[in-house]
Amino acid sequence: MRTYSFKAGVNLGGWLSQFQKYSAKHFDTFITEVDIKRIADWGMDHIRLPIDYALLEDDNCLGVYKEEGYFYIDQCLDWCRTQGLGVILDLHRAPGYSFNTLDVNSLFSNPFIQERYVHLWESIVSRYRTLDDQLQVELLNEVVEPTSERWNRLAHKTIEAIRRIDPNRYIIFGGNHYNSIDQLSTIELVSNDDRIIYTFHFYKPHLFTHQGASWDKITREYQTSLYYPGDFREVEEYARMHPEYSSQLQDLPKYIDISYLHGLIQPAIDFTLQTGKPLYCGEYGVIDLAPLASRIAWHRDFVGILQELKIGRSCWSYKEMNFGLVNQNGIVVHEELVNIVSQR
């Protein structure tokens, strides 16, 4: 059996998840075998493959899992195996849950939907139980709950169901509030299972990494370009003028650089020291609206810190999705950025 300890990867966001329409044309063209070979040629050792539940199950046909959806996962696994890449299969949107429709989510309050969620995972691991450690599975992307109790319960229940089918599969389990690094301490660890990997996402400081993002009120309204490393005193003044954003901006320093990033990583250091458990950073990145030199500098510093800590990672994202390494035509945005995120 091959053992994968993933070090440097990229998310294939926007392909089998967050798609605008369930369309064979999109699935057949957005990512192809050429893209997988390119990722391997860059020097990465894995991809994180987000999928939406709708790829595999229709809301009006529960428990009947779609072969046409599984085909694309199967194909991607074959491509990655040929290129020597590992795969993290990430359930990005689940029945009754999406990180960007928080007001209508029902997964954590509806026992029937929870059973449906568990059954979906049983279908997935049953299909792939004969694969080696090339494949790891991630329970759910970016949970947002008032507290972590309901997610911890459901995660443990799902892990138990997976273990009845696939005792040795590596399972990735993240914390609350969009997989925040600050929520690692609220994860209820799985005892007596050395094949659980814990995960966090990192987009800090948010006002810099998401500057100009149209889907976030504060980043949409704050119109001044931010640089890394750079002076943040204007943000401090903005916070005084906009008290409605004070809770989001109050902890920002006057200047951000690598020492600031080091401080933000401390919860991950504490987690590993206190638990001895492995950690993985499933998403990180800077929006393509940020000044390019600052985008590159932030990635260089953050990747360097994770390398020092021996924490594997997967940047967001390979293509488009506002954070892409390549544009819609597959053209590399900047070679230096690719080289940085591909370092092992």
Residues with active-site annotation: 142, 283
Neighbours of 268 (CB within 10 A): 21
Token couple for 37: 């070979």
CB-based contact 339:6 (threshold 8 Å) = no
Max Cα distance, the chain (Å): 59
Q: Would you list the DSSP string of 14-40?
A: TTSSS-SS--HHHHHHSS-HHHHHHHH
**Amino acid symbol at 259:** S
The rounded distance, in Å, linking the Cα atoms of 224 and 238 is 10
CB-based contact 200:284 (threshold 8 Å) = no
Best CA proximity match to 207, nearest among 165, 167, 249: 249
Residue 196 main-chain phi, psi, to 5 deg: -110, 130
CB-based contact 284:201 (threshold 8 Å) = yes
CB-based contact 250:207 (threshold 8 Å) = no
Token couple for 236: 């401090």
Neighbours of 191 (CB within 10 A): 7
74's enclosing H/E stretch is helix 67-83
**What are the DSSP E strand ranges found in 2-140?**
8-11, 46-52, 86-93, 135-138
